[in-house]
């Protein structure tokens, strides 16, 4: 792949409103845009999705004992995967909400994509809180506060309870945010499609959008409000997830640095995943002009920055283990550095602290293969981070007599890869049926950048052009 | 057609006439139909009777039928799948003393390797559920061992043999009677010269009398007896010393200095429960006024007795005799040969300083000569009649069982045996390898086996007859000191089995029930009311034999020289002994003391030996003798093991005898020969590569300098009465008052005295029996999912090869005042009671496991799978399809056959304690302080309008504990035992710096080493 030049523009090539509609909108409308790659990818994802369903079926039939969890390691792959997916889901909201409020225009071409990713990642994450319980058939409703004649309520002091609220709020707001942002584009598709079913479905989903001044006004208001609403969520969700650990007395968990370090780690992992998805999609669908090297460059820089915060977190963890003089913390650290699972710790350090440092180099940031590789490494690293934190801390205890080893089972892996299948299956369906890039925002951007003065004729054609 | 013949010829013209003149299509089938004859109508009714009756039914009948049908349809609906179709009826005549829902206790006695221990059997509505110690019994004194606790499981074991078997075919007792009486009648002529009886160690006067009667009937018959881990050496030792066999017991309560020569007297000897109690009483500082006895342990395998000792020296089993000789030499009994090590001189000096209050105990694993020498030593020290008591022999039958079995084998090989009656013993599996007993057995004409399991021996016999469990039979048995107890059943036999006395009754031609046989035997000894008293107390009064006045007559024996090369020592397993308890899931899953291995035996060796051989724990290795025999199994590296030796437990690698027995460990009997029953030398160990895979419950063996088990010497205790470490800082960060929360009512708490805890595991199994704790199996133990509510932690202190100290710490739920598990449960399934219990609400638990993660003590257990009704012992059995020979052809179904065990799950359900919820999958469980027992006492107290008394509530672990190390009670009552122990200076809270403020406290461990001996 020839190296693409890094110019300071967010849209390259000769673009018109029409061409944006065409290059993005036709992905939903024209099946011919989806070549072999799409079928191969969704095929693999579908197989993995089936693996997931079989694993879940076996899990429900047998019990959580099909995993490797034990006593003392009550949580392992289940919570690792939960935290990992929730973390990945962070980039979407960050891009949509915080960057919107900060008026970062470069977010426009990747926000739709990232929001969809958030949603699907949250769906994947949401599999675990329920399935990891011993009795999911009662956990499904006992974890929710509902008035009942026994006056039995959930335990509001439990961080797991906070988790239930944090994640469900996050999921709700993410769906709303994503859907509200989709409405103008859905209307475009409704107008453009030749297909009767498409017209009905898109017509229904676009909620009667006509592109009137009043519509745009309401839209902007609603979008801004939702952005304001979800901004604290970006910080709160992973903070609360980190409370699951930080609020406990387990050595290796009970650390005040967890909330910021978890949030940074989430953004780190989230951007890695956005890149992992965006790079092939922009290549396969000819979207290089809309997701430009500038976007990639910025995303790399954010990864680098959050990666450094995460590295700082690791250093602090080690420092406190030593500085606190707490023998339990210190023995845990030794276990991480030199214990039987120390390969996981050192791989984590490599993946999250050392490998991303290549992104200091502008050349590396412009090299698609390098960026792609780093993104994969970071994703693995962030998974390992949770492995180091969750099961590795639990194996080692206050009373050495209760130390036991943890080993995952085959079902642990099939469920993990299964959720990856679920994620990609949804992702590829999204790519097939919905506009992966925010068309109207791109057109708005095109207007604001002054590249192509809007021609009246085109505006009418577009139907939903920026007023 | 019948009709045709009957009705004669049809009138065809008439038919024609009928058909003519009809318009349209007229279908007819037969000529008869057209004729519409009466015969045709009859035939029609005959063919379709219902059609006719339905057509003809009148309105009233129709309504009647309809009403009835509706009513019956409704009744049919009652037989829903959810309703048991068994009838539930109330008692018309209530059995005496029975209150439904209240347990009854019956005194009985359990035979353990022949000797009896008095027990109380808890029985709920006719089914025994738990076994407790009998406080009136001299050995038990109310406590039990893990094996006694687990014996209840054995009764419900579906693998116990259930019917009489002739070869591999099911037969009946009646059939057997016919056969055996025929043979016996024939033998009568020869005075029974061809009859041999083989028993295990018999300490039952009733059985001995019956065998005596049989031998009177057949004077030429011979009685043999065999126990793989019997007390031959002890008997031979006293024979050598005194010229006759006496029963030697020890009174540890009077002993200040104890020297144990490879004796595991706290766990592995008849009388252990009593010895453990007396030993602990001599160390209970708050009761002894600061004095402690002192135990010197010389041992060939790390045992809990060694772990409880003040000085411990590991040496090869064959070298222990040398120590005995040196002690004897020091006392001037034998000439001293060579240099006597300093520490032994000091030990001798200590013994001499405590004449009459010292004690030298030889282990049953030591040769007769060591026993004989110890008799001389004890006499010389003036201990006889004080700490060492001699009584008449307790058991019956041959004195030397090995010799007896050898004679039997010879007789078999000479084809002299026409009828061999085997009672209980399993010689095909346990006999010394060189006897080749299995081959010899085949030479007997008729081989009859009476036993609880269809095992290796049954497999080789012509008849197998099921034997009752002790809970199903009447009988009597002598305790370690000779006291007679009555065995009384707690349930009718579950299967078609008979007790030994009933079986002997058949042979004697007086087939009495075991009750009648026992009643007859005690007709004169226990007349009238005395019988009831004896049954009630479980002990027959005035049967404890008085002391025998004797003195050593024999010359000092020659101590056998130590074996050269690598020594292999054969020891009985602390849990399954010689293999007889191999099919008990509880005992298999109970971590072996010190090694913490479950479900397996292992090749135990010292760390330095393992290093030398390049082996690690769990490696697969082979042990070979110079004579060529070899076995292979898993290696276990064991700190404190003597260097040039390996130890292997007997009882594993069974080939027949139950689902569980057949899957566990490897068989070491092939290495054990009649010349080397205890140990043999010149063995080689080599790695076979790969891992054998052992399931152990503890992987970390040091305390890492943490303040977990506090221990110190008696001297240190004077300077530091709390035994807390020097750098100990009490966390003073609590806003709450110092003591327990201010609630009304009793506040429960527990103390565990680590000074008297010997780590015998009785509490672990007692808790399992009381609280319906499931067995999970080896694979799940490997995955760290065992469900025991009490974890017996074991830590080593000091060097790897020679740990200076081995400590035990039972850890169960600490019932923290500020329990970290409580606030993290999202559904509030674990909450605090007003009496300070940390309660687990099973119904509310969804199984997030957060509570367990947040428990600093990691005492919570989780049902990862459905363990409660799928225990392998009670589930399906899988086996190779038997080959059937029909004519000349053999038929075999390829592959394995899986079959449900008869009554498997029903039996398991009968075992459960009805007062405790049986937990299903996905539920967190933990110690409840036996809340069911608390509630029971509370109800009793309320009924009587009083407060609960101190000591009224006894938890299962406390009740079982042989050393009374566990005390439970009300910590709010300053006068209670538990409060006083909590106030003791040695009392401390585990992980106190976490501010969890546990209700369970520990008392630091104190040792009393000889200050003259440098560790």
State the average pLDDT over residues B744-759.
91
Contact present, B135 and B142 (Cβ < 8 Å): yes
Q: Do B864 and A74 touch (CB under 8 A)?
A: no
Residue A454 has pLDDT above 50, yes or no: no
Is residue A453 less than 8 Å (CB to CB) from chain B? no
* Stated pTM of the model: 0.86
State the average pLDDT over residues B832-860.
92
Q: CA of A52 to nearest chain B CA: how many angstroms apart? A: 20
Write the residue in A160, A399, A404 that is nearest to B824 by C-beta. A160
Which tops the pLDDT comparison, A186 or B59? Answer: A186
Half-sphere exposure at residue A401, Cβ-oriented, CA atoms within 13 angstroms: 26
What are A379's two structure tokens? 């994703």
The DSSP symbol for A315 reads H
Is residue A65 less than 8 Å (CB to CB) from chain B? yes
pLDDT tens readout for residues B365-386:
899 999 999 999 999 899 988 8
Residue A125 has pLDDT above 50, yes or no: yes
Q: What is the pLDDT of residue B25?
A: 62
Instruction: Assess if residue A464 is contained within a domain.
Output: no
Residue A458 has pLDDT above 60, yes or no: no
Interface test with A, best of B840, B848, B866, B996 (most A CBs within 10 A): B848
Contact present, B120 and B133 (Cβ < 8 Å): yes
Q: What is the pLDDT of residue B426?
A: 92
Q: What is the pLDDT of residue B4?
A: 44
CA end-to-end distance (rounded Å), chain B: 112
State the average pLDDT over residues B462-483.
92
pLDDT tens readout for residues B809-836:
999 999 998 899 999 999 989 999 888 8
Q: Do A71 and B861 touch (CB under 8 A)?
A: yes
pLDDT tens readout for residues A176-219:
988 998 999 899 888 888 888 888 999 999 898 888 888 888 88
Contact present, B861 and B789 (Cβ < 8 Å): yes
Write the residue in A142, A157, A399 that is nearest to B811 by C-beta. A399
Is residue A72 less than 8 Å (CB to CB) from chain B? yes
Is residue A394 less than 8 Å (CB to CB) from chain B? yes
Q: Please provide the average confidence, as pLDDT, over all residues in chain B.
A: 87
Instruction: Assess if residue A8 is contained within a domain.
Output: no
Q: What is the pLDDT of residue B487?
A: 93
Contact present, B514 and B473 (Cβ < 8 Å): yes
Instruction: Assess if residue A1 is contained within a domain.
Output: no
Buried b (16+ CB within 10 A) or exposed e, A314-326: beebeeebeeeeb
User: Domain B566-696 is in which class?
Assistant: mainly beta
Instruction: Assess if residue A357 is contained within a domain.
Output: yes
Whether the bond between A72 and the residue before it is cis, its omega within 30 degrees of 0, is: yes
Select from B393, B390, B433, B389 the least CA-distant residue to B409: B433
B899 forms beta bridges with B877
**CA B939 – CA B984 distance, rounded (Å):** 31
Q: What is the pLDDT of residue B648?
A: 94
Contact present, B544 and B140 (Cβ < 8 Å): no
Q: Do A248 and B820 touch (CB under 8 A)?
A: yes
Q: CA of A266 to nearest chain B CA: how many angstroms apart? A: 23
pLDDT tens readout for residues B84-108:
556 667 778 877 788 888 889 999 9
What are B735's two structure tokens? 């806003």
Question: Ramachandran region of residue B9, left (φ > 0), alpha (ψ -120 to 50) or beta?
Answer: beta
Residue B646: which pLDDT band, with cuts at 50, 70 and 90?
very high
Residue B798 backbone phi and psi in degrees, to 5:
95, -160
Residue A462: which pLDDT band, with cuts at 50, 70 and 90?
very low
Residue A453 has pLDDT above 50, yes or no: no
Q: CA dihedral in degrees (B59, B60, B66, B70; nearest 10)? A: 150
B62: three-class secondary structure by DSSP: helix
Q: How far, in Å, are A404, B388, B505, B687 from residue B611 at the CA level?
A: 24, 42, 58, 12
**CA B310 – CA A165 distance, rounded (Å):** 58
Give chain B's count of helices (H) and strands (E): 35, 42
Residues 6+ apart with CB under 8 A from B79: B85
Q: CA of B855 to nearest chain A CA: how many angstroms apart? A: 8
- A–B CB contacts, 8 A cutoff, strictly below: 174
State the average pLDDT over residues A112-130.
88
Residue B875 has pLDDT above 90, yes or no: no
State the average pLDDT over residues B993-1005.
90
**CA A73 – CA A394 distance, rounded (Å):** 5
**CA B485 – CA B48 distance, rounded (Å):** 76
H helix intervals, B882-950: 904-911, 931-943
A339: three-class secondary structure by DSSP: coil
> Cβ contacts (< 8 Å) between A137 and chain B: which residues?
none
Q: How many CB atoms lie within 10 A of CB B561?
A: 11
Buried b (16+ CB within 10 A) or exposed e, A344-378: bbebbbebbbebbebbeeeebbbbbebbeebbbbb
Write the residue in A62, A133, A328 that is nearest to B847 by C-beta. A133
Instruction: Assess if residue A29 is contained within a domain.
Output: yes
Residue B734: which pLDDT band, with cuts at 50, 70 and 90?
low
Q: Give the angle A32-A34-A37 at the CA atoms, nearest 5°.
A: 140
Write the residue in B844, B847, B858 that is nearest to A397 by C-beta. B858
Q: Which of A44-48, B554-558, B741-745 has the highest mean pLDDT?
A: A44-48
Is residue A142 less than 8 Å (CB to CB) from chain B? yes
Residue B613 has pLDDT above 60, yes or no: yes
Q: What is the pLDDT of residue A1?
A: 41
Q: What is the pLDDT of residue B46?
A: 60
**CA B955 – CA B939 distance, rounded (Å):** 16
What is the number of structural domains in chain A? 1
Q: How far, in Å, are A7, B593, B756 from residue B810 at the CA level?
A: 70, 12, 12
Q: What is the pLDDT of residue A56?
A: 94
- CATH number of the domain within which A359 lies: 1.20.1630.10
Q: What is the pLDDT of residue B92?
A: 80
> Cβ contacts (< 8 Å) between A68 and chain B: which residues?
783
Cα B673 to chain centroid, rounded: 27
Which tops the pLDDT comparison, B61 or B405? Answer: B405
Q: Please provide the average confidence, as pLDDT, over all residues in chain A.
A: 85
**CA A336 – CA A321 distance, rounded (Å):** 11
What topology is assigned to B252-392 in CATH? Dimethylsulfoxide Reductase; domain 2 (3.40.228)
Is residue B17 less than 8 Å (CB to CB) from chain A? no
Q: What is the pLDDT of residue B622?
A: 92
Q: Do A74 and B849 touch (CB under 8 A)?
A: yes
What are A133's two structure tokens? 């319980």
Write the residue in A157, A250, A400 that is nearest to B853 by C-beta. A250
Q: What is the pLDDT of residue A8?
A: 57
Q: What is the pLDDT of residue A7?
A: 56
What are B738's two structure tokens? 């110092």
Helix axes A293-323, A368-395, angle to 10 degrees: 30
Tell me the percentage of chain B whose pLDDT exceeds 70: 91
> Cβ contacts (< 8 Å) between B848 and chain A: which residues?
132-134, 139, 160
**CA A77 – CA A392 distance, rounded (Å):** 11
User: What does the domain layout of chain B look like in residue ranges?
Assistant: 2-56, 252-392, 566-696, 869-910
Q: What is the pLDDT of residue B66?
A: 77
Q: What is the pLDDT of residue A355?
A: 92
Residue B733 has pLDDT above 70, yes or no: no
Is residue B706 less than 8 Å (CB to CB) from chain A? yes
Q: What is the pLDDT of residue B700?
A: 83
Give chain A's count of helices (H) and strands (E): 20, 0
Select from A276, A275, A296, A427 the least CA-distant residue to A12: A296
Contact present, B131 and B512 (Cβ < 8 Å): no
How many residues are there in chain A?
A: 467
Structural domain of residue A237, as residue ranges?
A: 24-453
The DSSP symbol for B992 reads G
State the average pLDDT over residues A120-131.
90
Residues 6+ apart with CB under 8 A from A164: A129, A143, A144, A154, B826
Is residue B850 less than 8 Å (CB to CB) from chain A? yes
Q: Give the angle B388-B390-B392 at the CA atoms, nearest 5°.
A: 160
Residue B40 has pLDDT above 90, yes or no: no
Is residue B809 less than 8 Å (CB to CB) from chain A? yes
**CA A28 – CA A436 distance, rounded (Å):** 9
Is residue B729 less than 8 Å (CB to CB) from chain A? no
Q: CA of B954 to nearest chain A CA: how many angstroms apart? A: 27
Q: What is the pLDDT of residue A466?
A: 38
Select from B497, B469, B590, B498 the least CA-distant residue to B152: B469
């Amino acid at each position: 792949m020839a190296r693409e030049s890094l110019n300071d523009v967010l849209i390259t090539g000769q673009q018109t409103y029409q061409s944006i509609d065409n290059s993005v909108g036709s992905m939903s409308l024209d099946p011919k845009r989806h070549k072999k790659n799409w079928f191969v990818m969704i095929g693999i994802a579908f197989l993995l999705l089936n693996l997931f369903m079989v694993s879940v079926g076996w899990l429900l039939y047998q019990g959580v004992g099909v995993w490797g969890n034990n006593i003392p390691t009550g949580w392992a792959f289940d919570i690792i995967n939960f935290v990992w997916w929730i973390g990945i889901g962070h980039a979407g909201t960050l891009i949509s909400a915080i960057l919107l409020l900060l008026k970062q225009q470069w977010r426009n071409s990747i926000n739709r994509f990232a929001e969809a990713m958030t949603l699907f990642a949250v769906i994947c994450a949401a599999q675990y809180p329920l399935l990891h319980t011993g009795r999911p058939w009662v956990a499904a409703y006992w974890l929710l506060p509902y008035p009942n004649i026994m006056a039995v309520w959930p335990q509001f002091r439990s961080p797991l309870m906070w988790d239930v609220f944090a994640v469900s709020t996050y999921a709700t707001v993410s769906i709303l945010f994503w859907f509200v942002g989709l409405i103008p584009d859905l209307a475009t598709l409704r107008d453009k499609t030749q297909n009767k079913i498409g017209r009905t479905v898109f017509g229904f989903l676009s909620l009667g959008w006509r592109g009137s001044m009043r519509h745009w006004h309401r839209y902007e208001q609603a979008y801004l409000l939702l952005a304001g609403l979800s901004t604290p969520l970006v910080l709160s969700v992973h903070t609360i997830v980190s409370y699951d650990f930080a609020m406990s007395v387990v050595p290796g968990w009970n650390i005040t640095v967890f909330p910021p370090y978890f949030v940074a780690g989430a953004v780190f992992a989230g951007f890695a995943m956005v890149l992992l998805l965006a790079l092939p999609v922009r290549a396969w669908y000819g979207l290089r002009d809309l997701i430009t090297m500038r976007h990639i460059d910025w995303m790399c820089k954010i990864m680098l920055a959050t990666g450094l915060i995460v590295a700082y977190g690791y250093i602090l963890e080690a420092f406190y283990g030593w500085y606190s003089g707490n023998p339990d913390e210190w023995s845990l650290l030794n276990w991480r550095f030199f214990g039987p699972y120390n390969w996981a710790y050192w791989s984590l350090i490599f993946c999250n602290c050392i490998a991303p440092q290549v992104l200091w180099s502008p050349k590396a940031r412009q090299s698609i293969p390098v960026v792609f590789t780093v993104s994969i490494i970071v994703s693995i690293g962030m998974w390992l981070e949770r492995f180091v934190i969750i099961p590795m801390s639990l194996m080692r205890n206050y009373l050495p007599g209760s130390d036991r080893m943890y080993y995952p089972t085959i079902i642990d892996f099939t469920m993990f890869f299964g959720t990856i299948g679920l994620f990609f299956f949804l992702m590829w369906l999204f790519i097939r049926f919905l506009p992966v890039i925010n068309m109207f925002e791109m057109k708005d951007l095109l207007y604001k950048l002054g590249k192509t003065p809007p021609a009246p004729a085109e505006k009418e054609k577009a139907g939903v052009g920026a007023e | 057609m019948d009709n045709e013949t009957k009705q004669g010829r049809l009138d065809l013209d008439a038919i024609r006439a009928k058909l003519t003149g009809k318009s349209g299509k007229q279908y007819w089938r037969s000529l008869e139909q057209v004729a519409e004859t009466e015969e045709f109508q009859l035939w029609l009714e005959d063919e379709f009777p219902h059609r006719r009756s339905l057509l003809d039914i009148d309105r009233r009948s129709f309504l009647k039928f309809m009403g009835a049908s509706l009513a019956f349809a409704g009744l049919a609906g009652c037989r829903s799948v959810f309703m048991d179709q068994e009838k539930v009826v109330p008692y018309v005549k209530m059995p005496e003393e029975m209150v439904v829902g209240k347990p009854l206790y019956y005194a009985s006695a359990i035979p353990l390797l022949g000797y009896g221990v008095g027990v109380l059997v808890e029985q709920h509505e006719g089914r025994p559920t738990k076994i407790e110690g009998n406080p009136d019994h001299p050995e038990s004194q109310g406590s039990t061992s893990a094996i006694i606790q687990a014996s209840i499981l054995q009764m419900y074991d579906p693998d116990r043999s259930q019917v009489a078997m002739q070869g591999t075919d099911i037969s009946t007792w009646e059939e057997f009677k016919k056969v055996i009486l025929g043979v016996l009648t024939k033998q009568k002529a020869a005075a029974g010269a061809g009859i041999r009886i083989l028993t295990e160690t018999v300490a039952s006067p009733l059985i001995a009398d019956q065998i005596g009667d049989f031998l009177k009937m057949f004077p030429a018959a011979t009685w043999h007896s065999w126990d793989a881990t019997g007390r031959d050496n002890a008997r031979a030792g006293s024979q050598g010393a005194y010229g006759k066999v006496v029963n030697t017991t020890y009174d540890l309560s009077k002993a200040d200095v104890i020297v144990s020569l490879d004796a595991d007297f706290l766990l592995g000897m008849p009388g252990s429960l009593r010895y453990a109690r007396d030993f602990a009483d001599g160390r209970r500082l708050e009761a002894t006024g600061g004095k402690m006895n002192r135990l010197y342990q010389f041992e060939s395998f790390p045992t809990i007795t060694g772990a409880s000792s003040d000085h411990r020296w590991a040496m090869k089993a064959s070298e222990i005799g040398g120590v005995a000789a040196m002690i004897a030499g020091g006392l001037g009994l034998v000439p001293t040969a060579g240099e006597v090590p300093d520490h032994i001189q000091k030990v001798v000096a200590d013994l001499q300083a405590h004449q009459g209050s010292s004690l030298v105990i030889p282990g049953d694993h030591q040769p007769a000569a060591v026993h004989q020498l110890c008799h001389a030593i004890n006499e010389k020290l003036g201990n006889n009649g004080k700490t060492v008591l001699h009584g008449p022999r307790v058991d019956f039958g041959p004195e030397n069982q090995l010799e007896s079995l050898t004679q039997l084998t010879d007789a078999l090989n000479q084809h002299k045996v026409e009828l061999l009656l085997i009672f209980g013993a399993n010689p095909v599996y346990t006999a010394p390898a060189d006897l080749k007993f299995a081959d010899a057995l085949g030479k007997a004409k008729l081989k009859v086996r009476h036993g609880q399991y269809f095992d290796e021996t049954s497999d080789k016999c012509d008849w197998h007859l099921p034997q009752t469990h002790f809970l199903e039979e009447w009988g009597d048995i002598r305790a370690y000191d000779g006291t007679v107890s009555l065995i009384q059943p707690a349930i009718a036999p579950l299967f078609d089995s008979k007790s030994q006395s009933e079986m002997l009754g058949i042979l004697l031609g007086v087939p009495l029930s075991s009750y009648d046989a026992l009643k007859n035997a005690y007709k004169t000894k226990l007349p009238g009311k005395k019988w009831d008293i004896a049954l009630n107390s479980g002990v027959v009064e005035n049967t404890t034999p008085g002391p025998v006045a004797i003195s050593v007559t024999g010359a000092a024996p020659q101590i056998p020289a130590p074996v050269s090369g690598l020594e292999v020592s054969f020891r009985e397993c602390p849990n399954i002994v010689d293999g007889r308890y191999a099919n008990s899931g509880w005992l298999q899953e109970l971590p072996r003391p010190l090694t913490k291995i479950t479900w397996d035996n292992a090749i135990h060796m010292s760390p330095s030996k393992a290093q030398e051989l390049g082996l690690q724990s769990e490696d697969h290795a082979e042990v070979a003798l110079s004579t060529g025999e070899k076995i292979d199994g898993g290696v276990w590296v064991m700190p404190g093991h003597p260097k040039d030796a390996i130890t292997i437990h007997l009882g594993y690698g069974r080939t027949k005898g139950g689902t569980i027995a057949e899957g566990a460990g490897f068989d070491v009997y092939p290495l054990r020969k009649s010349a080397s029953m205890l140990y043999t030398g010149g063995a080689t160990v080599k790695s076979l590569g790969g891992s054998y895979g052992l399931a152990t419950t503890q992987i970390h063996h040091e305390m890492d300098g943490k303040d977990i088990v506090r221990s110190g010497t008696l001297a240190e205790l004077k300077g530091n009465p709390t035994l807390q470490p020097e750098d100990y800082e009490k966390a003073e960060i609590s806003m709450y008052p110092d003591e327990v929360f201010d609630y009304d009512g009793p506040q429960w708490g527990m103390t565990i005295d680590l000074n008297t805890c010997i780590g015998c595991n009785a509490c672990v199994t007692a808790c399992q029996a009381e609280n319906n704790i499931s067995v999970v199996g080896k694979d799940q133990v490997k995955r760290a999912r065992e469900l025991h509510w009490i974890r017996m932690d074991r830590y080593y202190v000091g060097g790897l090869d020679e740990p200076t100290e081995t400590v035990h710490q039972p850890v169960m739920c600490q019932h923290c005042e500020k329990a970290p598990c409580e606030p993290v449960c999202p559904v509030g399934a674990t909450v605090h009671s007003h009496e300070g219990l940390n309660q687990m609400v099973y119904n509310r638990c969804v199984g997030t496991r957060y509570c367990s993660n947040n428990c600093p003590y990691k005492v919570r257990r989780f049902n990862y799978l459905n363990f409660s009704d799928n225990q392998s012992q009670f589930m399906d059995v899988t086996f190779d399809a038997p080959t059937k020979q029909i004519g000349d052809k053999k038929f075999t179904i390829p592959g394995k056959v899986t079959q449900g065990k008869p009554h498997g799950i029903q039996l398991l359900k009968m075992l459960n304690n009805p007062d405790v919820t049986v937990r299903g999958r996905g539920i967190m469980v933990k110690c409840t302080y036996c809340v069911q027992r608390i509630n029971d006492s509370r109800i009793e107290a309320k009924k009587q309008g009083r407060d609960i008394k101190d000591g009224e509530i006894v938890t299962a672990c406390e009740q079982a504990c042989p050393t009374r190390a566990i005390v439970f009670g009300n910590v709010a009552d300053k006068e209670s035992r538990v409060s006083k122990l909590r106030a003791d200076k040695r009392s401390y809270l585990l992980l106190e710096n976490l501010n969890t403020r546990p209700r369970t406290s520990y008392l630091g461990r104190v040792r009393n080493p000889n200050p003259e001996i440098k560790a």
